[in-house]
Amino acid sequence: MKRTWLKGIALTICLGMAVSFGIACGANGTGANNGHESNSNTETCTHVFTDYQSNGDATCTANGTKTAVCDNGCGAEDTVTDAGSMLQHSFENGVCIGCGEVEYTDGLQFTLDSKKQTYSVTGYTGTDEEVYLPSTYEGLSVTEIGNDAFWGKAITKVVIREGVWRVGKNAFGSCKQLKSITIPSSVTAFLDNAFIYCEALKEVHISDLAAWCQTYSVGNKYANPLSMGHNLYLNGELITELTIPEGVGYIGQCAFENCLSLTKVVIPSGVSSIDWGAFINCSNLQSVTIADDGENLMIGDYAFGSCHALTRIILPGRVWGVENSAFNNCKNLSVFCESESEPSGWTWAWEISGIPVYWYSENEPKHNSEGTDYWLSLKHWRYDEKGEIYVWVFGQQYNPAQ
Ligand SMILES: [Zn+2]
Ligand SMILES: [Zn+2]
């Protein structure tokens, strides 16, 4: 019985995908002229969408959409993101011929690295409040933003372009009017205090969620722009319900630190590590779902620290390691482990803040084989017939809404 509920969900998702991707769906999907002619049939038709056409609405900085009409002739349409359709800027004489953005703002200072192969942006003497950084300068790649590069500047918006991989110490520190920053997929590291004192920062814009998940921020609270900006936008849309994309193997240190826009996170089977502080201080996060099957998963120190809105989390059997204080200060949380006892890879201090922890027991707990009472002193749960959490200790159904 144990995993019936989750398997049920997985099956539902598979069926949903089978339909939207047009995989054969039985007797209803056999042809275009089988009685699905009028729009009034859309409610009974088992739609099959296979032939997606671009809507031509991709821009320099965001993917466009594509639309298919149901193969069964019912007239229903399905519009989805056209992955990979984002155009690239095409600069001529310093201006993009696609969108009109400037290639880079006057007054940026560039420093050639010691090997004379790449440039860093190391200062700004311009007057524009909106600052655009280039991918290349004098024929070489721009790969870093130097320490203190924009410290204390009166800027409101910064757009970093593809190629930059590191944002240096204090790089945007004390930019007290900075409201919006755009981070490209190439950035992998934010160093100490890169956004300290950015009190007006409200928007962090990205176009590649998988890349963002695997960023690394030095864990001092002000390295990641989200630690000050709180709101993460993917192609212009605020992320509230986050499904970590397939292909992401780990969620980097402090990657979603202080992301107050997040209410829901789904972690798929391919993720094997949730690093230090990955979701620390996500205080509006109400729901975390970790896929039941998949890679062995390590949950790092403070990974969900101070997620006050979280009331329950199920840790599947694939969680082979939990590091110190992974759920520190989660005042309203109960942890339900699918393991029957604490796995040896969990540190002794994985949970020391006294939140309720339940271990799995298909049968009502009795004295263990040694006849000691230790087993009975623990809390236990199981999945009931409906796949809901059933708590043994109180002999009652657990009600997460209580
Ligand atoms: Zn249809
Ligand atoms: Zn453009």
Average pLDDT in the chain:
87
pLDDT, tens only, 319-365: 999 999 999 999 999 999 999 999 999 999 999 989 999 999 998 87
Kindly give the distance from the C-alpha atom of residue 14 to the centroid of ligand 1, in angstroms, as a whole number: 19
- Say which ligand is closest to the CA of 35: 1
Q: How far apart are CA 385 and CA 3, in angstroms?
A: 10
Domain boundaries, the chain: 4-81
C-alpha torsion sign, points 151, 305, 229, 158:
positive
pLDDT digits (tens, 9 = 90+) for 6-24: 433 333 333 333 333 333 3
Q: Are 201 and 225 in contact (CB under 8 A)?
A: yes
Ligand 2 centre to CA of 59 (Å) is 7
pLDDT tens digit sequence for 174-219:
999 999 999 999 999 999 999 999 999 999 999 999 999 999 999 7
The CA 208 to ligand 2 mean position distance, Å, reads 17
Q: CA dist 304 to 71, 195, 262, 313, 335, Å?
A: 45, 22, 13, 11, 12
Strands (E), 135-209: 136-137, 140-145, 157-159, 166-167, 180-182, 189-190, 203-206
Residues whose CB is under 5 A from ligand 2 (ion)? 60, 89, 96, 98-99
Give the tens place of pLDDT for each residue, 37-54.
444 455 689 999 999 999
Do residues 254 and 217 touch, judged by C-beta distance below 8 A?
yes
Q: CA-CA distance, 129 to 108, in Å (whole number)?
A: 12
pTM above 0.85, yes or no: no
Nearest ligand, measured from the Cα of 62: 2
Ligand number, closest to the Cα atom of 40: 1
In angstroms, the CA 5 to CA 374 distance is 30
Per the structure block, which two tokens stand in for 28? 């209803």
In this model, does residue 400 exceed pLDDT 90? no
- What is the rounded CA–CA span in Å between residue 24 and residue 30? 8
